Amino acid sequence: MIKLLIFWDIFGRNWRRLVKKYVPDLKKKYSPDFMIANSENMTSGKAAVVKHILEMKELGFDCLTWWNHSFSNLKDNEEYLNSKDSIQIRPANYFNHPKYKVPGKWYIIIEKNWKKILVINLVSSVFIWWQVYNPFMKVDEILAETWDKFDAIIVDFHRETTAESYAMSEYLDSRASLMYGTHTHVQTNDEHILSWWTAMITDIWMVGSLHSSLGQKFEWRIPWFVTGLNIFSPKNEVDMWKGLVNWLYVEIENWKTVKIEKIKIIEEN
């Protein structure tokens, strides 16, 4: 049996604090074999710097996924991203060119407690970033080589449309253990196990402020929606309230997901 805790988008300083506050107890309660999170907004709404990636590693995270701010702190983290020990991965389906290499690992294999899992991060080409290989074809390519070598395969699919999450999960049914959608930052109530054994949820949500727009301040987002202009300076992390930690708890047996549960804590302040 493999037990997983999956958090998504730990959104900046306040929410790194929240993870540090709650994760030790969650680890005691769930005894997870592996922990995964996302760090696309981890450092002041931009990609995690090495210091913050290592803080997460210290807390017990085995893998951090990315997009769409993946490369916003390259000065700080490029060397780390390319290192053997990096726990940070980026989407697998960026274009690949021998001369112009996109930094970072495009999947990660984690071995612990006699268990071996593969984590793949994909990004959609619909309404989000069209300059990538088709994620369906890319995931076929990866799974064609590796599917029987692991105890579980986890896919983080970063996309805008909910329909695409469903299509991808059905496409992966019986080939991956779990597919979760990310990016929309609003949790869906549709977690379930498909007709074979792959589990899915359209969106996990985030570790951030419940009273926010995608984890960002209303004083920035509202004028943006009203005027159509992104000129009202963002001050992330200030004055936002109702800290939210939410996660997926997943149990996988012989490849097959047998349990998927979403859980949340709201910190009142």
Catalytic positions: 69
- When asked if residue 138 is in the footprint of Fe ion (CB under 5 A), the reply is no
**Min CB(163)–Fe ion separation in Å:** 17
Closest to Fe ion by CB, 5 vs 123, is 123
Closest to Fe ion by CB, 68 vs 161, is 68
Q: Tokens representing 199?
A: 């589990």
Encoded one letter per residue, x for contact with Fe ion by CB under 5 A and - for no contact, window 173-212 reads ----------x-----------------------------
Name the residue number minimizing CB distance to Fe ion: 183
Residue 222's alpha-carbon distances to 9, 184, 217, 226, 231, in angstroms, are 22, 17, 9, 6, 11
Closest to Fe ion by CB, 68 vs 188, is 68
Size of the site for Fe ion (CB under 5 A): 2
**Min CB(184)–Fe ion separation in Å:** 8
Residue 78 DSSP label? H
**Min CB(96)–Fe ion separation in Å:** 21
**Min CB(214)–Fe ion separation in Å:** 9
The sign one gets for the Cα dihedral 64, 66, 69, 72 is positive
* DSSP E strand stretches across 13-104: 34-38, 63-65
Closest to Fe ion by CB, 52 vs 183, is 183
How many degrees, rounded to 5, is the angle at CA 192 between CA 190 and CA 194? 125
**Min CB(158)–Fe ion separation in Å:** 6
Encoded one letter per residue, x for contact with Fe ion by CB under 5 A and - for no contact, window 40-79 reads ----------------------------x-----------
Return the closest-CA partner of residue 205 out of 178, 236, 182: 182
- Asked whether 39 and 62 are in contact (CB, 8 A), the reply is no
Residue 25's alpha-carbon distances to 30, 183, 228, in angstroms, are 9, 27, 43
Closest to Fe ion by CB, 16 vs 175, is 16
Q: How far apart are CA 209 and CA 61, in angstroms?
A: 21
Provide the binding-site residues for Fe ion, judged by CB under 5 A: 68, 183
